[in-house]
């Protein structure tokens, strides 16, 4: 028998083999407009989630994040966030921070147009616990003026159970050949 995840067509898999698989794709979406909500992607099936976002054209807008429950954004003023970036131009610094906010800012675009991608790990969003997230992002200026790498994170200190999230821009509309993919993973 092949070793998972190298399955053979028609092979019957045991529960143990299936449970050994790390990431399970839950859903994917293309971002359009200035705000996109992804509902019912968090559940009791997983405690941890990874969100991949690629090729997001943001212009000069900030990328914002809100948890959702039952189709509505969780907007209590309990988000705290921080982001830091380093640019190939030799500059570095804070790319956004704040506390007691109604949403988390994953990172600020700053000056100049940018295309970005990010990975965000979210811990316990469905459980009635404080939800934390950590991630990394890259941003480039399509004209070649800069490349930036950064780290981001946030805490949602309300213990509400979340089953989805909203990504939004502070201005403009999402563009580019983008995609967001949500995975669940085991401890």
Return the percentage of the chain with pLDDT > 70, whole number. 93
CB 179, CB 29: distance < 8 Å: yes
pLDDT at 7 (0 to 100): 67
Split into its structural domains, the chain has a count of: 1
Q: Would the pTM of this model clear 0.85, i.e. be above it?
A: yes
Distances (CA, A) of 173 to 50, 124, 168, 170: 24, 30, 9, 9
Please, which residues bridge with residue 38 across strands? 165
Distances (CA, A) of 45 to 85, 104, 126, 178: 34, 25, 9, 27
Peptide bond into 5 cis (omega under 30): yes
In a domain, 155, yes or no: yes
Q: How many helical (H) and strand (E) elements, i.e. helices and strands, does the chain have?
A: 1, 13
Domain that holds residue 31: 25-185
In a domain, 45, yes or no: yes
In a domain, 8, yes or no: no
- What's the rounded Cα separation, in Å, for the pair 87 and 125? 31
Return the percentage of the chain with pLDDT > 90, whole number. 42
CB 31, CB 172: distance < 8 Å: no
In a domain, 17, yes or no: no
pLDDT higher than threshold 60 for residue 3: no
Beta strands in 44-89 (DSSP E): 48-57, 63-69, 72-73, 79-87
In a domain, 11, yes or no: no
Phi, psi for 155 (deg, rounded to 5): -125, 135
Could you give the dihedral angle defined by the CA atoms of residues 173, 174, 177 and 180, in that order, rounded to the nearest 10 degrees?
-160
CATH number of 153's domain: 2.60.120
* CA within 13 Å, CB half, 140: 8
In a domain, 100, yes or no: yes
pLDDT at 1 (0 to 100): 42
In a domain, 88, yes or no: yes
Residues 159-176, mean pLDDT to the nearest whole number: 89
In a domain, 5, yes or no: no
Q: Per residue in 15-61, pLDDT tens?
A: 777 777 778 899 999 988 889 999 999 999 999 999 999 888 777 77
């Amino acid at each position: 028998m092949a070793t998972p995840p190298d399955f053979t067509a028609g092979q019957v898999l045991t529960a143990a083999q299936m449970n050994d698989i790390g990431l399970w794709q839950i859903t994917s979406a293309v971002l359009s407009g200035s705000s996109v909500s992804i509902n019912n992607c968090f559940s009791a099936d997983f405690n941890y989630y990874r969100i991949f976002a690629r090729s997001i054209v943001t212009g000069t807008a900030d990328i914002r994040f809100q948890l959702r429950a039952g189709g509505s954004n969780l907007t209590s003023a309990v988000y705290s966030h921080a982001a830091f970036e380093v640019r190939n131009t030799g500059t570095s610094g804070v790319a956004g921070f704040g506390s007691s906010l109604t949403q988390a800012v994953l990172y600020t675009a700053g000056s100049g147009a940018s295309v970005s991608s990010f990975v965000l790990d979210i811990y316990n969003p469905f459980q009635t616990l404080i939800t934390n997230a950590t991630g990394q992002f890259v941003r480039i200026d399509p004209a070649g003026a800069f490349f930036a790498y950064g780290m981001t994170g946030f805490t949602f200190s309300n213990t509400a159970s979340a089953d989805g999230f909203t990504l939004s821009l502070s201005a403009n509309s999402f563009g580019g050949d983008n995609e967001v993919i949500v995975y669940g993973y085991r401890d």
